[in-house]
Chain A
Amino acid sequence: MATVLEPDRTRPAFLVCDGNEAAAWAVALSRVDMVAVYPITPQSSLVEYLAKLVADGDLPAEIVDAEGEHSVLSVLQGAALAGARTYTATCGPGLAFMFEPYMRQPGLRLPMVMSIVTRDTLTPQSVWGGHQDAMSVREVGWIQMYCETVQEVMDTIIMGYRIAEHRDVMLPVNVCHDGNYLSFGATRVDLPAQAEVDAFLGVPNINWHAALDPSRPMAVDPLTGGAGGPGPRTFVKYRKGHCAGMQKALSVITDVHAEWARRIGRVHAPLVECYRMDGAEVALVTIGSMTGAAKDAVDEARDRGVRVGLVKVKTYRPFPVRAVVDALTGVRAVGVVDRSVSFGWDCGPLYQDVAGALGHAGLPLPSMSFIGGLAGADLTPGHFGGVIERVAQLARDGQQGSTVWLNEKD
């Protein structure tokens, strides 16, 4: 609403906080109209921070304490159809419970940002971090971006609104930050000035295409499809439009990150980040907060003369096929490290995508899947050192082994 904050006086220029608190501040900076919340570990403190920001007047938004995640997203879908900029966060079982409206959101082309504070899925019963929740919904049609640092959590949520609301995109964005490691890991975080964020995001127009508004009455989402009349082609038109929006998002994400760097002065790789890839003969592919330890291991290996580099995937959906292929062109072997499992292929889902991209590009590199960090397990530089060693061997002998489970003996 019209409440005007004076953020530069009431808000600090930086905080020492964890990823959940950084996310809540990003929501406030994005001037979100409505948040709906339901607590679940390890997301809970995030919604507590949101409630506190609302109570303190730092976030002048409507807050709905819904009775479950299913209603959380449903409330926000209704609000978005009435024009609201919306936010929520969930993970694990909460995401599973939310799945029915979650599946619908991108088809409605309703932009929003939702954090997934990633958590491994049940069962085995677990409350700790892992990417299995977010990875399980990778084909639903949301944009997914995975953060490496707490600062990136804050910046990506704000950028997420710009991406989601772009007329060429009009899709919801999941900003994924690792449960435990990013949700509770505290560090210094710089806050952009409110005026900068306002100028960056502009005035939202969420429901220009599909509104529930008596001043411009329309039926939203009538039955579409079937075997007769205009049904088949109408349905195909919507599906193709959704795919087109996803593909256009690749350039929008790139442009938005560039503009963020220009305006705010912080650089984050939009699709993939190449780390010490110059002259690399072997490459690790990582995603999320594990990347920090992996970079340390790469540095250590480079010091020993191993020509290894790292490609971090930030944007996972849409999958940046071209950027991944370009980044890996020139290496002799690839090791992909996942924090989740593709049960259908007995490997990690990111590995599947990387292998698919390489094959699609006619670049059949020897590659292997490594899975670690499940259910909160630590992924140390030691683990990555082992991965580098194994991939270097792969580069030498070309003998692809089966999936390696990094915490099998931890």
Chain B
Amino acid sequence: MTGAYSTIAFDAARCDGCNACMVSCAQAKAGSDEVADSRIQIVAGDGAFELAMCRQCGDPRCEANCPAAALVKNEDSGVVDWDGSKCVDCLLCTVGCAYGGIVRNARAGHVVKCDLCDGDPACVKACAPGALRYVTTARIYNEVGQLEDLFVPGLSGCQGCNTELIMRHALRRIGPDTVLATPPGCIPGMGSVGYNGLTGTKVPVFHPLLTNTASMLAGIKRRYNRLGREVNAVALAGDGGASDVGFQSLSGAAERGEQILFICVDNEGYMNTGMQRSSCTPYGAWTSTTPVGEHGRGKTQDAKNLPVLMMMHNCAYVATASTAFMEDLYAKLDRAIAASKRGFAYLHIYSPCTTGWRFPSQDNITVARMAVETNFVLLWEFDPEAGLQLTHPVDAPRPVRDYLEAQGKYRHLSPEQVAHIEAGIDRQAAFIARLAQAGGAPPARPSFA
């Protein structure tokens, strides 16, 4: 028994009316090239294409209308199954459906409807512009929906902050046999460790120093290993503590292969203390210590690529992730948890900051998604066997201007600064692509051959 199902999503803005989806469906389901035989129908609407197709409703009217029990919602797959042996061709189902999702097909001689092709829809594969997507994020709900949220309600993050989302999802997935370190920053700032005797976390939690998160966790983990107890040692840290003042302890723990899951929530600066620059702050960005004025035009250096540095430690697992790509994030979280039983696992999650990056609080996911769609942020993962692999390659990225214009912190950029950023994106993409081609682990020692 599952609670949520995969589904086909339609983005009208991307649809160009090419009909490839209908042709592929007709071929797959009717052995025909006639779009009339397709169970998905794209129709010209008022200024945009519209979708006529079975929604696999949770409370299907077609099923309610059927006098013969030929239509039944399948609780495992979520598909409204049609059983031809019971159908009496009364067509009451077609009257009930508001979506044109079940219609009589002349060639078949009975009603037909989408069955999601057993989880591999032909139409989605045929859709070149990406207007159709098969959305499988329901698995997240199904797998972790029953797990306890290990943070209390009412953490006091800024409006629209995605970091709380990361915290709640990550910890419920990792589970209660955990010691959690949240070094100074937004995460304890919103009350996870607590104030004056109160706490916001249901697992053992503490503030390490900003500098020693990985070291303290190493001591805890080694102690429990020695006691024969399986306890997860987990960090939810910011980019400042990880990339700047805490980098030595992070690097040391990674080099020693301490069995830690270190999650770096990257909001590109010291956002909790008032939006100061960190080494993860991108080039050109306004921060409170890289202000814009007569002589200042934002940060003058490129961001440190911390996840690549961690990969060069040959950790058991390293990945980048984004809150706009939750399925990708979840898959990586699972692999990171597993890897942390063997060695050091590092997960770098980009988390746009509504307050510090200066964009409306409802736009957080939009900004996060644009970062990936413009290749400003690359989603990849690494383990020593497979090497680096891009998990969401973007071959035709959107112009980075779209991303920059969405945030107030880039409002001042000159054309030369934008050109610098554009060139940096190309360089980064090419560099990561070379690593992806190389495969395997980085060399343990430099080669002088």
Binding site for B on A (CB under 8 A): 1, 33-34, 36, 62, 64-68, 70-71, 74-84, 100-101, 104, 211-214, 216-226, 229-231, 234
B249 touches A71 (CB 8 A): yes
Q: Is B204 interfacial (CB 8 A cutoff)?
A: yes
The 5 closest A-B pairs by CB, nearest first: A78-B219, A67-B252, A219-B199, A74-B215, A74-B212
Question: Please, which residues of chain B bring their CB within 8 A of the CB of A212?
Answer: 179, 204, 206, 220
A214 touches B196 (CB 8 A): no
Question: Please, which residues of chain B bring their CB within 8 A of the CB of A100?
Answer: 209, 211-212
Contacts A64-B218, A219-B193 given; does A81 touch B206 at CB 8 Å: yes
Could you say which of B79-87, B223-231, B407-415 contacts chain A? Answer: B223-231
Considering the complex, give the chain A residue whose CB is closest to the CB of B150: A217
Question: Please, which residues of chain A bring their CB within 8 A of the CB of B201?
Answer: 219
A-B contact pairs, 7 of them (CB 8 A): A33-B223, A65-B256, A79-B223, A82-B220, A101-B212, A217-B176, A231-B195
Please encode chain B, from 187 to 212, with 1 for each CB lying within 8 Å of some chain A CB and 0 for all others: 01000011111110111111111011
A222 touches B252 (CB 8 A): no
Q: Is B137 interfacial (CB 8 A cutoff)?
A: no
- Min CB–CB distance B87 → chain A (angstroms): 55
B249 touches A67 (CB 8 A): yes
B215 touches A75 (CB 8 A): yes
Considering the complex, give the chain B residue whose CB is closest to the CB of A81: B220
C-alpha spacing A70/B211, complex, angstroms:
9
Contacts A64-B222, A82-B224 given; does A70 touch B204 at CB 8 Å: no
A70 touches B212 (CB 8 A): yes
Contacts A74-B216, A100-B209 given; does A224 touch B196 at CB 8 Å: yes
Question: Please, which residues of chain B bring their CB within 8 A of the CB of A220?
Answer: 204-207
Question: Please, which residues of chain B bring their CB within 8 A of the CB of A229?
Answer: 196
C-alpha spacing A131/B398, complex, angstroms:
63
Q: Which of B198, B226, B227 has the most CB of A within 10 A?
A: B226
Q: Is B255 interfacial (CB 8 A cutoff)?
A: yes
A222 touches B251 (CB 8 A): no
C-alpha spacing A211/B229, complex, angstroms:
15
C-alpha spacing A65/B251, complex, angstroms:
13
Q: Is B177 interfacial (CB 8 A cutoff)?
A: yes
Binding site for A on B (CB under 8 A): 176-179, 188, 193-199, 201-209, 211-212, 214-224, 226-227, 231, 248-249, 251-253, 255-256
Question: Please, which residues of chain A bring their CB within 8 A of the CB of B256?
Answer: 64-65
Q: A64-B256, A78-B223, A226-B195 are in contact. List 14 more A-B contacts (CB 8 A).
A: A1-B227, A34-B219, A36-B219, A68-B248, A70-B249, A79-B220, A82-B223, A83-B227, A212-B220, A216-B204, A219-B199, A221-B207, A223-B193, A223-B195
Considering the complex, give the chain A residue whose CB is closest to the CB of B189: A223
B216 touches A223 (CB 8 A): no
A71 touches B193 (CB 8 A): no
A223 touches B194 (CB 8 A): yes
A214 touches B179 (CB 8 A): yes
Question: Please, which residues of chain A bring their CB within 8 A of the CB of B179?
Answer: 82, 212-214
B222 touches A62 (CB 8 A): yes
C-alpha spacing A71/B208, complex, angstroms:
11
C-alpha spacing A80/B207, complex, angstroms:
15
Q: Indicate which residue in A76, A104, A217 contacts B202 across the interface (CB closer than 8 Å).
A: A217
Q: Indicate which residue in B193, B204, B208, B223 contacts A222 across the interface (CB closer than 8 Å).
A: B193
- Min CB–CB distance B202 → chain A (angstroms): 6
Question: Please, which residues of chain A bring their CB within 8 A of the CB of B217?
Answer: 78
Q: Which of B203, B251, B252, B256 has the most CB of A within 10 A?
A: B252
C-alpha spacing A240/B156, complex, angstroms:
31
Q: Indicate which residue in A62, A71, A75, A221 contacts B206 across the interface (CB closer than 8 Å).
A: A221
Question: Please, which residues of chain B bring their CB within 8 A of the CB of A77?
Answer: 216, 219
C-alpha spacing A270/B214, complex, angstroms:
38
C-alpha spacing A70/B214, complex, angstroms:
11
B198 touches A222 (CB 8 A): yes
- Min CB–CB distance A63 → chain B (angstroms): 10
Q: Indicate which residue in A82, A217, A226 contacts B196 across the interface (CB closer than 8 Å).
A: A226
Question: Please, which residues of chain A bring their CB within 8 A of the CB of B255?
Answer: 67
C-alpha spacing A62/B225, complex, angstroms:
10
Question: Please, which residues of chain A bring their CB within 8 A of the CB of B223?
Answer: 33-34, 62, 78-79, 82-84
C-alpha spacing A213/B205, complex, angstroms:
9
C-alpha spacing A18/B5, complex, angstroms:
71
